[in-house]
Structure 1
Amino acid sequence: MDDYRIVVNQLFGDKTRRISDRKNVPSALFLDPAYSRVGLNIKESKAKGYNVLVAKMASEAIPRAKQIGKTEGFIKVVIDKDSEKILGATMICKDSSEMIHEL
């Protein structure tokens, strides 16, 4: 979704943007409901030495999911307890392939 910035920078800029600089690229598997992920999961976070917090929410708590009647699934976010930064997220829910980019 952001490739044009790399292309423009390589053609007309200072050539500092590269595909290899990307760190967290969201991915999605288009099932029903979709499976989407970005960043580190719990196991990877702990292996890197982070003090991990996990926030998990059922899809039925999402207003849009209730509205369209697609409440199966969940959203799970892995957070570094010390810095309060998001380390990664996993979503299994309707439209997760669209929402994962926000994280």
Structure 2
Amino acid sequence: MPPIEVGPAGAVGAASARLARTAAGESSSGANGVTVSSEASAARATAPAASTAVEASAALDPGQIPVDTDRVELIRKAVQAGTYPVIPTQIADAMIAAQVLLWSHEG
């Protein structure tokens, strides 16, 4: 298999002030010295974006989160009062069980 060659990567940095000015309505000079209005640049930039709209599917909507608000309030009050039992071994066991559960669903 032939090697895959990748060209040099451009530097990643802050947005160019020239780009911000041209988006605000000023004209700018292109690479070949031709002055381009920001309206023409904006029209070219937005034309492809308008035709590639993405619609969200209702099948991906997870719906309501199943939270027992009464239980949450009971635990919150117990923590505030200092009466919530914190047992390190039970916490560690639950963390290990959660990791094993995640591992079993990966493969």
| TM-score, shorter chain, exceeding 0.5 | no
Query: TM-score under structure 2 normalisation?
Result: 0.22
Query: TM-score under structure 1 normalisation?
Result: 0.22
Higher helix fraction (1 or 2) = 2
The structure that has the greater radius of gyration is 2
Higher strand fraction (1 or 2) = 1
Higher relative contact order (CA 8 A, sep 6+): 1
